[in-house]
Chains A and B, each alone.
Chain A
Amino acid sequence: MTSKIPLNTIKISEKACEKVKEFAANESRDKYGLKVAVRAGGCSGLEYILEIVDGPDENDKIISQNGLEVYIPKKAYIFLAGTFLDYSDGLNGKGFEFINPNAKSSCGCGDSFSV
């Protein structure tokens, strides 16, 4: 797959995109996007937020990948730049998984990180 996405932006695997579209279809949404953000919390200090939303907020950065619009609040972007979002399913799958180069450490379950 060739990508014109800049190195510093968030990349989302095709599988993760398909899974988001599947969740959106289950919710019967016509127009939607994926909000990716971080907030204080989790064991390590910052936790990821994933949410299917109707559209971007005023201060969101918008990225389009594999037919999916991704909205990232500008304040959260510095913590997420370069992150790869993947999805692993199956009995032992972790679901959505963030591989974040900004994370110095993360908690056991991988849902939160520190920078």
Chain B
Amino acid sequence: MLNHLVVVVILSQFNMYKQENFLKNLNFPLFNINQKNNSYKLTGSDSISFLDRISTNKIEIFDQKTSSKTILTDNKGSIIDILNYKVLDNNNIIFNLESNNPQTIDYLKKLIIVEDVEIFEDNPIKKITIYSRKEIIAEKNLFSFCFYNIDKLEDMIRYEIYFKGNFNITNLSLEEFEKISETTKKRIDIQNNLFEFDTKLKKINPLETGLIDYISFNKGCYVGQEVIARLHNYKKISREIIKFQSSENMIINAPFKSQDNISGKILSITKDKTEFVGLCLIKKKDVGKISSDFLLI
């Protein structure tokens, strides 16, 4: 495939300063609500075993109140989709897809061959993402929600909470928070090297995209385990996430080649005033080759 030659600037110190100012100008706490999420239920006596055998995390009933993420990978270790899930009991798991792509459900249904597992579409859910400079929600207050994730980032805490009906936490009023657009949310995530999985993304693995916390290295086989374990154990992860900015919009998963002859793959992108910023994967060996001239383009 031909690579596009575009002006891609890996963020220089000057630009990093701009990024910091972007965050400083925000009035934390912030929140964003996404209305469109499907949720699903895995039902049957083999549900836990089934999800455990096809995804990276150890699926078990350790605590029915907590939730986590798990990653569906193919037999080459590439991400198919990312699931937020909660084990309700021995026979039921609720989950949603980070991509919200129904094709992942078709993929899961094809994997059910002889087992007692069925997949049902459950009620639609909403997702609220809250960014705060300090801890404002104790984890126990999130147990009643469908799923949640708490990311303790360098200088902020990111709460991702999925819920049905109305969002309601005692002693917490969203009216005191600033509501942000999807673009601003994406911008904050990019600043923190976070991206939401898009099914347009092909041939990326969870180790190079910062998802190691959702991989169990002692659970035994799952689809893709052989490749992922080898990459991890022999330290063969060849790419890493880098922030970039570009004068033109770019397509997720598209390959690019910079003027500095560095090639990579676009993971996420959003508009920031007149330019675009995003995350891309480049080879680790190229990180050291980035010249100061390149940085200042």
Contacts and interface: CB of A to CB of B under 8 A. Distances in A.
Interface string A93-114: 0000000000001011001101
A42 B54 CA distance: 8
Contacts of A17: none
A73 interface: yes
A45 B75 contact: yes
B224 A40 contact: no
A39 interface: yes
Contacts of A37: 113-114
Most buried by A among B112, B113, B114, B224: B114
Interface string B206-239: 0000000000000001111111000000000000
Nearest to B108: A40
Nearest to A49: B114
B114 A41 contact: no
A112 B114 contact: no
Contacts of B286: none
Contacts of B74: 45
B111 A40 contact: yes
Nearest to A107: B226
Given A76-B114, A107-B226, A41 B54 contact: yes
B221 A39 contact: no
B113 A76 contact: yes
Nearest to A114: B75
B115 interface: yes
Contacts of B112: 40
A43 interface: yes
Contact of B223 (A38, A40, A73, A105): A40
Given A105-B75, A114-B75, A41 B113 contact: no
A75 B113 contact: yes
Contacts of B50: 39-40
B126 interface: no
A79 B112 CA distance: 13
B226 A39 contact: no
Contacts of B111: 40, 45
Interface residues of B, number: 17
B53 interface: yes
Nearest to B111: A40
A39 B75 contact: no
Contact of B222 (A41, A111, A114): A41
Nearest to A112: B221
Contacts of A42: 53, 221, 223
Nearest to B46: A39
A39 B115 CA distance: 7
B75 A43 contact: yes
A44 interface: yes
A40 B226 contact: no
Interface string A44-82: 111101000000000000000000000001011001000
Nearest to A78: B113
B53 to A, nearest CB: 3
B113 A39 contact: yes
A42 B115 CA distance: 15
A39 B223 CA distance: 11
B223 A75 contact: no
Contact of A41 (B223, B226, B227): B223
15 contacts: A38-B114, A39-B114, A40-B50, A40-B53, A40-B113, A42-B221, A43-B223, A44-B75, A44-B226, A45-B223, A49-B114, A73-B113, A73-B114, A75-B114, A108-B226
The 9 closest A-B pairs by CB, nearest first: A41-B53, A40-B111, A43-B226, A44-B75, A73-B114, A43-B225, A37-B114, A45-B223, A45-B75
Interface of A: 37-47, 49, 73, 75-76, 79, 105, 107-108, 111-112, 114
Interface of B: 50, 53-54, 74-75, 111-115, 221-227
